[in-house]
Amino acid sequence: MWDATAELPAFPPLAEDLDTDVCVVGAGIAGLTTAYHLARAGRAVVVLDDGPVGGGETGRTTAHLATAFDDYYSEVERLHGARASQLLAESFVAGVDAIERIVREEDIACDFVRLDGWWFPAVRNGGEERDTLVEERDAAHRAGLTDVTLEEQWPLAEPLGGPALRFPRQAQFHIHRYIAGLARAVVKHGGRIFMGAHVSGIEDASEDGGRCTVTTDAGRTVRAADVVVATNVPINDRVAMHTKQAPYRTYVIGARVRRGAVPPGLYWDTAEPYHYVRLLDPQGSGDTDVLIVGGEDHKTGQGGDDEPARFDALERWTRQRFPIEAVEHRWSGQVIEPVDAIAFIGRNPGSRRLWIATGDSGNGMTHGTIAGLLLPALIAGEDHPWATLYDPSRVTLKATGEWLKENVNVAAQYRELATPGDVDDVAQVPAGEGRVIRRGATKLAVHRDHDGTLTVRSAICPHLWCVVDWNSAEKTWDCPCHGSRFAPDGSVINGPSRAPLAEASLDDDGAS
């Protein structure tokens, strides 16, 4: 979706073994912001990614930079207490401010602009939803965001009806332009970035003070005092963090709209899942702009093969509320929802020198920047007021119900190991699509190219052995348990799996 004029910088492959202070795995916003602050502090930093910078979920964001919290300050206060809510608000304000500071100091032309955020009722003039807004306003005030107000008259009051919460001094930017400038700034300050480096192994430092080791598929090794795993979901362990969070697909459309028809701002409704809206470039020129609208979330790999219908539903929702013209762009992304509302940023549970950033929910750009502020301090052994709040080892007893719900959902996915396939024969696999087929005791992921060529892989995710599901919108194999995603040829797109879908073959009498 993001326009091609913002070319992402190219970086070389990792061609030799390296020794460094810190190795950052992942060149999204969390990894690059962490590397940026470490490099500015004089640390030797190496960043590894198997794709271009921002080529993962960072590049799919709608880039709302918000102090409004999508899981609600009232919920954080209920689960974690008033002090935690205050620290959360403090960190979110610092995160947005840090992006503005980096844009200014590194002279990054990325259409950064401050604007108001508006949280509005999903149901027109719904009394219960007004109560929700009042409750969140009061919780935001207790958290320290005393400038949040409940407004009867707001930019979209006439078409949408009802009051809205105003969150001042939110922001937005063009993510590709920002991430390109941030990557260049990392290099300017002495960091090194390598692309095409698919990480296949991560080993923690030994008890005797040894170094961490990161290995790639190409056989290269990076040894470092510390390793930061900033890969949307951790790829360094199988279980520890994956029971504490869940992957969801979220859908986005970009529709042409007459300039001035929608006032600049960030907009979110109170639906569950909620919708989120912004203009591509409210400071631009010309007669039209692009209205970016997202929502219709569901558990990854559990969409029931109705992903295209999600886009249709999103378009209907948008047309009912905004005077859009043609829908020109459609894409989806993956958000990781923590069971207790707050992201996980800090020392990986049970590790000595491995650090993670995950569980961003719908606040990925802000959370990723917070990670870049917090992790360098923790790596340096400094105390930090946000450390306990974001601690990946925390246990939140009041979130036990949500923890059980998500993990029961995961357990239920293993029933697919015993069910029939999507189709009985490969002849039923449409061109350009994939389908799961049962063959004896196992299941196969079969993709038919438009020229009829078949690609056959095991349908069992290498991470924790769930059966993958075909995503007809993204043309990927998605794991319904922990969110690993694979290309039609089985190669890894998203962790936590580091390994591709295993090679497999059809029985002779099953080939078609």
> How do residues 399-433 score in pLDDT, each as one tens digit?
678 767 776 777 777 777 778 887 888 888 899 89
The arrangement of secondary structure in 18-60+176-242+341-397, i.e. its CATH architecture, is: 3-Layer(bba) Sandwich (3.50)
Region 98-102: what's the mean pLDDT?
98
Give 179's Cβ-side CA count (13 Å radius). Answer: 30
Using the predicted structure, report yes or no on whether residue 291 has a pLDDT greater than 80: yes
Residue corresponding to tokens 């950033």: 357
pLDDT reported for residue 6: 53
3-state secondary structure of 248: strand
Using the predicted structure, report yes or no on whether residue 80 has a pLDDT greater than 50: yes
- Per-residue model confidence as pLDDT tens digits over 4-43: 445 678 899 999 999 999 999 999 999 999 999 999 999 9
Q: Provide DSSP, 281-341.
A: -TT--SSEEEEEEEEEEEETT-STT-HHHHHHHHHHHHHTTS-EEEEEEEEEEEEEEETTS
Q: Where are the domains of the chain?
A: 18-60+176-242+341-397, 111-171+244-337, 419-510
3-state secondary structure of 3: coil
pLDDT reported for residue 42: 96
The pLDDT confidence band at residue 237, using thresholds 50, 70 and 90, is: confident
Three-class SS of 385-412:
CCHHHHCCCCCCHHHHHHHHHHHHHHHH
The pLDDT confidence band at residue 483, using thresholds 50, 70 and 90, is: confident
Cis peptide before 462 (omega within 30 of 0): no
pLDDT reported for residue 225: 97
The pLDDT > 70 percentage for the chain reads 96
Which tokens belong to 263? 């006032």
Q: Is residue 257 within 8 Å of residue 227, measured between CB atoms?
A: no
Using the predicted structure, report yes or no on whether residue 268 has a pLDDT greater than 90: yes
Question: At 376, phi and psi to the nearest 5?
Answer: -60, -35
* Bigger pLDDT: 404 vs 304: 404
The pLDDT confidence band at residue 511, using thresholds 50, 70 and 90, is: very low
DSSP state of 6: S
Residue corresponding to tokens 């940026």: 36
- Per-residue model confidence as pLDDT tens digits over 178-233: 999 999 999 999 999 999 999 999 999 988 878 999 999 999 999 999 999 999 98
Using the predicted structure, report yes or no on whether residue 352 has a pLDDT greater than 80: yes
pLDDT reported for residue 127: 64
- Per-residue model confidence as pLDDT tens digits over 36-78: 999 999 999 999 999 889 888 898 999 999 999 999 999 999 9
pLDDT reported for residue 305: 67
Using the predicted structure, report yes or no on whether residue 361 has a pLDDT greater than 90: no
- CATH superfamily ID and name for 111-171+244-337: D-Amino Acid Oxidase, subunit A, domain 2 (3.30.9.10)
Cβ neighbours, 10 Å, residue 27: 32
Q: Is residue 180 within 8 Å of residue 8, measured between CB atoms?
A: yes
Q: Is residue 332 within 8 Å of residue 251, measured between CB atoms?
A: yes
Region 468-490: what's the mean pLDDT?
90
Question: Distance (Å, rounded) from C-alpha 352 to C-alpha 204?
Answer: 7
Q: First-to-last CA distance in the chain?
A: 37
Q: Provide DSSP, 51-112.
A: SSTT-SGGGG---EE-SS-TT-HHHHHHHH-HHHHHHHHHHHHHHHHHHHHHHHHTT--S--
Q: What is the CATH number that goes with domain 419-510?
A: 2.102.10.10
The answer to whether the Cα torsion of 181, 183, 184, 188 is positive or negative is positive
- Per-residue model confidence as pLDDT tens digits over 148-185: 999 999 999 888 878 999 999 999 999 999 999 999 99
**Taking all residues of the chain, what is their mean pLDDT, rounded to a whole number?**
90
Question: 29-40 and 82-105 are packed helices; what angle lies between their axes, rounded to 10 degrees?
Answer: 70
